[in-house]
Amino acid sequence: MVLVSGFMRIGNLIDDPIDDPTGDLIRYLGGEVVDFSGYRVDLSHLTDFEQSVLCETRKIGYGSMITYSELARAIGRPKATRAVGNALRKNPVPIVIPCHRVVAKSGIGGYVLGVGLKRRLLELEGNTI
């Protein structure tokens, strides 16, 4: 339940949610597939590059993973792998923008909420790394 309580503040970062973000997070953490794409997230405080990284990250489906370099190529910046990682650190709403689904070529990579949690979220979605 500590994990769930850590995400309770997420509602303050989402504009006009379609549903209750807390309820959706609890369902997601309970193992249900939840579509968070209906939530509008305010990214206006980020650079255009950071916004493009996070918008592309939202397209990564449940149970899927891509590498930082694949994400860089997807936004048309194939040499910006490190910058992609830096942009993901600025994600205001992890899980809603599923940056845990972006991994390194050689392993799990980093995660703003800790690598242990990233591993748990990936496992929750059926991935092992």
- Does residue 99 carry a catalytic annotation? yes
Catalytic residue among 41, 71, 88, 99: 99
Tokens representing 56? 């592309």
Nearest to 7 by CA among 117, 128, 122: 117
Determine the Cα–Cα distance for residues 77 and 119; give it in Å rounded to an integer.
27
Nearest to 75 by CA among 63, 65, 87: 87
- The catalytic residues are 99
